[in-house]
Structure formats: structure tokens, C-alpha cells
Structure 1
Amino acid sequence: MLIDGLWMSICQSLWLFIPSICVYFMINTFILVRIMEFIHGTHKAPQDFITNMPDNVVTNILDRLPVQHAVRTSILSRNWRFKWTMLSQLVFDEMFFKYLRKSEGKNNHGGVISRLLLHLSGAITKFVLCIDNVLDAEDINHWILFLSRKGIKDLTIRNRDETPLMLPTHLFSCLELKHVHLFNCCFNPPPTFHGFLNLLSLDLCVDFEENVQLGEFFTKCPLLEILTIDDRSQVGKVNVVEIAKIKNLKVLSLQFCDLDNSIFELVGSLPKLQELHLDFEDYDLIEGGDGKRFSATFPCLKVLKLSRICLGGDTELSYAFELIRSFTNLQTLEITVTNDWYVGPPPHINYDATGLLQLRSVKFECLKGSENELCLIKFLLACSPFLKKIVIHSHPYIASDERMMFAKKLLMLHRASPAAEIDIFQF
């Protein structure tokens, strides 16, 4: 019995850490328990801990499996025939639809999802839907209405069709939502919207209607901590005043073209902001703006990520420098350079170490080994006495000899931190 108890303890631990093999493991455990009973010659069968597991444990296991595998647990035994109906997290992603195409051989995917939802018995806390052209908008409306009555807390809708999805008004009646991710949808809350009082994170890559008042929407989400906005429609730029109303905001991700130089004004109005992500895609900084200096400091900001920024020109390099220098308490810096091969004249910026940075970690993606990039790294090394590592992924088209030359130049730079390491990899 000691061996039996030990085996049961090991099995229960494995279920928590290796959910992807739970179904197969359960079947093997059934067989092993019966073999051990036969070997020991006991007339009293050991406790069937799989059958007698609490419902919350079963739900936790099933939620960690792909939906199609969770449903297949019905073949384990008579007692497990309807266990899958306790699912509380549903992920209908590309792998799910690939499975349907292979097994069903037809495009009745909406009907399959509808029948599955009708069999579920408890609350549904997470719902992920990747939409393609085989799903009907009316079915999606019915699913959102169904979820609004099931206590949904985490909702992701990714529309891969060319036409943006018109969000049903039922979405804005899901008052228990904590996390929302919407991609390629039309965002237009109805006048009767009273707010998501529990919302913590909001990720919008959507088309905003012209009459949408984001400021009013944000005031109805008082707990919002993480905000990502990508205005695909480009109807109206993001207003600094509107975002500044989110006093609880800790992580902000925006396209830089929506804010221009007002980013410093915005950060200064968000007392709890700790992470800032800026995407520079399709944006050209105004020439002559590189001479502007910002006197304000922002002590709370710890993480800065700059995506698709062109460091080949003096203007954007100068702006990156001003961002980093203004956020003096940064601990993590990540910069992804654009694929643009433009290389401007050598920078005319005084990169002196007049102030010290608190950087611990720096990461560059897609570097080309230009003098401008080298200048920025030189500044970071000289002003960061606590720096532990700089990770550099070079552009895949950089020749090996050019990458070697760039590495030699980096090794010759002065480091304020004796512990700072530089790792260079090919992207």
C-alpha cells in the first residue's frame, strides 16, 4: 500500500506540470493500478483516485488540453463520459480548425462549436476564437451572447478575414471581463455601455468608428492596467488627454505616430506607468526635431521597448537617445530596428555620460552594424554602471566578416559596469 500511495502522489504531481500528456497518462495509470492489484493479490481494490478526483481538479486538467483532446477523454470510462462538459476555457485556434478539417471533411465548423457550447455545464472563464471565412457572423453573435451569460473573464477574437468583424453589442454586456484582445474588428461601444468595471488588460488592433469617444470608454474601466492600441482605420489619432485618464495604467503600447512628441507629456500624467512600448512603423520624424531636449524625468518607468525604429538616420537616433536619457530609472531596454537599409551621415550628437542610467538588461534585434547603432551602444555602456548584459541579434543578411568587425568595435568600447557582457547572435 505504501508503493500504491507513492505512485498516486507522483501521478497527481505530474498532472499539474505535464497537462499535454494527461489523457494518455490516465489510461496507462488505469492499467498499472490493475497490474499492481494482481501482483499484490489483494482482494480489496485500491482507491480509484482518477474517478474520484474533485470536479475542480478535473476541470483544471481538461482546461490545459486542446479542446479536441479534452472531448476525447469521454472514452476513458463510463464515469468520464461527460467530464469534458466541465470545461471552463475554450481555445478555438488554427490547430482546432485544422483538426476539424481533417476529421469532419466539411466546413460545418460553426455548427460543431455551437453544439459543443450547448453541452457545457459550468461557467466559461476564457474564450479564444480565430475567425476565418468559414464562420458565420450570426453564429459569432450567438456565441458572444452565450458567453455573456457564462461569466466570461478572458476574451480573444482574432479575425483573419479581410473584412473587419462588426462586434455584437452583446460583447459590451460581458461585465465580468478582465482581459480583452480584439484583432481586425470594428470597435464601437453602444450608448448603453456602462463600463467594464473589472477590466485589467485591453489589446485593441481595430478600426475605430469616427464617433468613438475613447476617453469616455476608459473612464468606465477604472481598474485598467495594460493597454495596447493599434488604430487600423487611422480615422483619428489617439488623444493624449484620453489615455491620461487611465490613472491605474502600468503598461502602455502604442504606435508612435499616434502621439508624436506628446509622449513625454503623456508619460508624465500616468503616475503608475512602468512599461512603455512604442512602434515606429510607417513614421518619419520631422527633420530638425533632433535638437529638442527634454528636461523632465520619469522615475517610475522601468521597461522601454522601441519597435521598427530606423537608427540609420540622425533624427530617429537622436529621439531614441532622448527617450532613454529621460527615463533614467530604466532597467530593461529592447530595441527592434526596421528592415530599412537607409544609412545617414554620422551622428552629430554629444553622447556624454552626464547622467547615470539604471539599466540591467539591453536587447537589440536586427542590427546592421552601422556607426549610428554603435554610437547608441557606446552611450549605453558608458552610462550604465549596473548593466549585466547586452544581447544583440544582427540582421540575417549581414556578412560574417562585417559582423566580426562590428563585434571587434563593440569589445573596444568603455563599460561603466565591469560585469557587463555582450552576446552577439545572428537574427
Structure 2
Amino acid sequence: MADSDFLSSMPPEIIEKILVKLPIKEAVRTSVLSRKWKSSWASIPDLVFSANTIESQLIESVDKVLQMHQGPILKFEVALRTDQHVPEEAINRWLLILSKNGLKDLRLIFKFDGDCRVPSSLFSCHKLERLEIERCTLNAPQCFQGLKLLRDLTLAVCYLKGITIEKFVSVCPLLESLTLLGIVNQDCIAIRAPNLKQLDFLGPFNDFLLETPKLISATISTYGLPFAFSDFSLPNDGCNSKLLRAMGALSNIEKVKIDSDFCQYLASGLIPEKLLVTFHQLKWISIVLDDRTKVIDTALCIFQKAPNLKTLCLKLPSQIIWDQQRITSISFPKGLEVVVICAFNDVVSLLEFAKFILSTAPQLEKLVIDQWGFDNLDDRMGFLIELASFPRLSSKAVILFDVSCRY
């Protein structure tokens, strides 16, 4: 009786905080605790379904909870951990209910590689601020006018039907964070987003355009898939430099990570003598290079316009052996504090490059070297002994080995 009285006397806001922390299945079970708890679960604003059950049980559970729920639903998530297929009519039924309950955060994460379809009723959820969709076909209506409150969008392994990434992003004016992973049927990527601050893109493309003046952090990778970078597929407004179109307006960028294919894409157009913008805020960059002159010139163009760069992670394909002239042709900002060198296969080239960094970086604090290129401990120790005896321009510089390049 005392326990029952204690549970019954809890303030509603405390009960809600407890229920929100529980899986929805357990939250429903709390209805047996006391009379006051009997219907408390039916008003919690966050509904999260993570199921390993069979399809019919999952659909039945979601339907029942939505039918019994009272009040606003601010977050709705279905995250399937097994290869389950949820029919489009079931998703449509859920979305129609959610669109009338003030939904702000929607996550539909499917693990099934088949054709899971998210119907156009998704776009009637006008109060959405966060949207994450994984492994599905996303149908957009022809009259789609955007999600005006959306700030965070993640699309992973999705097929877009009736809309392009360019259109989707352009009609979400408040978008600040965008993650695109393995998007199908979107060969030309144009992102025009005046308020975008973070971009993560992984996937193939033919052409790439960024008009994101507030972008702070960007990771761009192609999965190593070969695509035809030679043609301008997007309107270029007379600009023949892919480097300018992709990075020429990123005046607020602080962190950039690009792989070798994207670097080759940037180098496939006209390389300007210098960029019009100076990356005053750029402090961290990870870039993959090879020994092609245009790729080096592209990197130089970026480095020379990043006067405040602090951390550089430089990766090179293992089959490339750089000569001394090529190594010393790169001009790095003088304020570098951390330099990470990854994927050198030739120890002699690695040694020369490390010496070059030590002799030209007056503010260097750490030189981190990936161990991948060393066959055994003796090689690593011999390398370290030789490098340790080399003079350093910075009195603070230390040399570290790392088992992998995690920067």
C-alpha cells in the first residue's frame, strides 16, 4: 500500500520523465502500477519503437499505441534491427495520425534492402524539425512546397522519387544539418542552403555544386566509385572551375574532410591561380592526394587561402612514391600545430616528408605518423631514431606513432 501511495503521489512531470526514458513496450506496462499510472503512458510525447518482432506484431503495436495516445506526439521513431518489410499503407496510416499531432522529430530506419516506401503523406508533417530516413523509396508530391521548419535532414541509402536533392534542400530554408549517404539516382548534387552549417556526403556523383555561405563543417566522399567528372552537368554560370563552384563561397568553413575522388573532381576543371575567398575560419582539414600535378595544385590553392589552419591530416595512396621535389612543392600555413601523415608505403618518402614538416612548421606541436607503412618494430624504431635526431623548427614538436589514422 505504501509503495502504491508513493507511485500515485508522484507529480505528472516526474512520471512523464520516467516514461520517456523507457521503451514504449515497457512504458505501456507501467499502467498496472496504480490508477494514476494507468493512462499516463498515453500522453508521453516521444514514441520510439525498436523491434525484433515479426512484421504483423510491429504494425499491430504501433497502430494500437497511436490509437490510444492522447495529446501531442513530438517524436516518432521506428528503428528495425532485422530485415522486416513495413507496407506503405501502414506507414501512410501512421503519418496521417502523426501529421495532426505536432510531430517535430521523425525517424524511419529500415534494415530491409527491399523496396520499403515512404508515402507522400510524410510531407504533410509541416512541423518537422528533424527527419531521418534510411533504406527506402521516398515519394514526394508534385505540389511539394517544402518543410519550412526542418533543421536536420538525414537520408541514407534512399531512392528519391518525384524530387531531386536540389529541390528538396532549397525548399527547406532553415536547414542547418544535412547528411546524404548513398543516395540513389542523384548523379548531380546541387546544394543551395543559405543556413546550412554541417554537411556529410558519401556517395557517387557526376557534378557537385555548393551554395552554402554559412557552412562550418563538411565531409565529402564518393565511396571510391568511379564517375565521369569531366563534364559540367549543372549550370555553371560561366564558371569553369569546379574548385570555385564547390568551395569558392565557403567563407565560414572551419573543418573539411575530402577523399581522393573528390579532390580529383575539384582538379578536373580549371584551377584558378587563387581563390577569391580566404578561409579565415578553417582550422582543420583532412585531404587525400596523389602525385598528379593538378591535384597538388588544387590542394595548394586551398592551403594558401587557409592562413589559420591548425590541424592537417594528409593521406596519400600507398602505391605512390613521392620524390623530394614533389614533397617540398607543397606550401603549408605557418601556424600548423598538428600534422598527421597517413598511408605512405615508401618509408624513404615518408622520412623526407616528415623532415620537411619539422623544418618548415614553426608552431608544430605534434607530428603523428600512421604505422601502416612499417612491416615490423625494428623498422619503426629505426625510423623514429633517425627522425628524432633531425632538427626541428618548433621547440614544442613531438613525434607520435598511431596504429591508425583517426583524425
Above 0.5 in TM-score? yes
Letter in 2 for 1:67: I
Structure 1 segment 111-130 matched on structure 2, within 5 A: 111-130=60-79
Determine the C-alpha separation between the residues in 2 that align with 1:167 and 1:71. 27
* 1:201/1:226 contact within 8 Å kept: yes
Give 2:236's aligned residue. none
Determine the C-alpha separation between the residues in 1 that align with 2:180 and 2:98. 24
Q: Does 1:327 align with 2:306?
A: yes
Q: Secondary structure at the match of 1:356?
A: coil
CA shift, 1:379, in A, is 6.0
Equivalent in 304, 307, 314 of residue 285 of structure 2: 304
Q: Secondary structure at the match of 1:269?
A: coil
Letter in 2 for 1:425: D
Give 2:247's aligned residue. 267
Give 2:59's aligned residue. 110
CA shift, 1:384, in A, is 5.2
Q: Secondary structure at the match of 1:349?
A: helix
CA shift, 1:116, in A, is 2.6
Letter in 2 for 1:195: G
Change (3 A) 1:383 1:203: farther
Change (3 A) 1:341 1:354: closer
Q: What stretches of structure 1 of length at least 5 have no aligned partner? A: 1-29, 35-46
Q: Secondary structure at the match of 1:157?
A: strand
Determine the C-alpha separation between the residues in 1 that align with 2:98 and 2:352. 53
CA shift, 1:358, in A, is 4.5
CA shift, 1:118, in A, is 2.8
* 1:224/1:249 contact within 8 Å kept: no
* 2:88/2:118 contact within 8 Å kept: no
Equivalent in 397, 402, 405 of residue 425 of structure 1: 402
CA shift, 1:220, in A, is 1.6
Give 1:349's aligned residue. 326
Give 1:169's aligned residue. 120
Give 2:187's aligned residue. 236
Q: Secondary structure at the match of 1:170?
A: helix
Post-superposition CA distance 1:202-259 (Å, at most 9, x none): 2233445586344333332222222223453254221367854444444434335698
CA shift, 1:169, in A, is 0.7
* 1:253/1:277 contact within 8 Å kept: yes
Q: Does 1:295 align with 2:274?
A: yes
* 1:268/1:298 contact within 8 Å kept: no
* Larger helix fraction of residues: 1
Q: Does 1:153 align with 2:104?
A: yes
Structure 1 segment 129-144 matched on structure 2, within 5 A: 129-131=78-80, 132-144=83-95
CA shift, 1:305, in A, is 4.4
Determine the C-alpha separation between the residues in 2 that align with 1:227 and 1:53. 41
Q: Does 1:203 align with 2:154?
A: yes
Q: Does 1:218 align with 2:199?
A: no
Determine the C-alpha separation between the residues in 2 that align with 1:232 and 1:69. 35
Equivalent in 212, 221, 228 of residue 255 of structure 1: 221
Q: What stretches of structure 2 of length at least 5 have no aligned partner? A: 194-208, 231-240
Change (3 A) 1:221 1:295: same
Q: Does 1:186 align with 2:124?
A: no
* 2:242/2:268 contact within 8 Å kept: no
Q: Secondary structure at the match of 2:256?
A: strand
Change (3 A) 1:266 1:398: same
Q: Quick one: percent identity of the two aligned structures?
A: 25
* 2:126/2:147 contact within 8 Å kept: yes
Change (3 A) 1:56 1:397: farther
Equivalent in 9, 16, 21 of residue 64 of structure 1: 21
Determine the C-alpha separation between the residues in 1 that align with 2:165 and 2:384. 47
Post-superposition CA distance 1:273-300 (Å, at most 9, x none): 444343457x793899799575223223
Determine the C-alpha separation between the residues in 2 that align with 1:192 and 1:391. 53
Determine the C-alpha separation between the residues in 1 that align with 2:192 and 2:86. 39
Determine the C-alpha separation between the residues in 2 that align with 1:384 and 1:62. 55
* 1:179/1:200 contact within 8 Å kept: yes
Q: Does 1:97 align with 2:63?
A: no
* 2:263/2:295 contact within 8 Å kept: no
Q: Does 1:84 align with 2:36?
A: no
Q: How many residues align?
A: 370
Determine the C-alpha separation between the residues in 2 that align with 1:372 and 1:289. 26
Determine the C-alpha separation between the residues in 2 that align with 1:148 and 1:350. 58
Post-superposition CA distance 1:354-379 (Å, at most 9, x none): 55354555667777675566666666
* 1:226/1:252 contact within 8 Å kept: no
Q: Secondary structure at the match of 2:131?
A: strand
Name whichever of 189-198 and 383-392 sits farther off: 383-392
* 1:169/1:190 contact within 8 Å kept: yes
Q: Secondary structure at the match of 2:264?
A: coil
Name whichever of 287-296 and 320-329 sits farther off: 287-296
Letter in 2 for 1:255: S
Change (3 A) 1:70 1:196: same
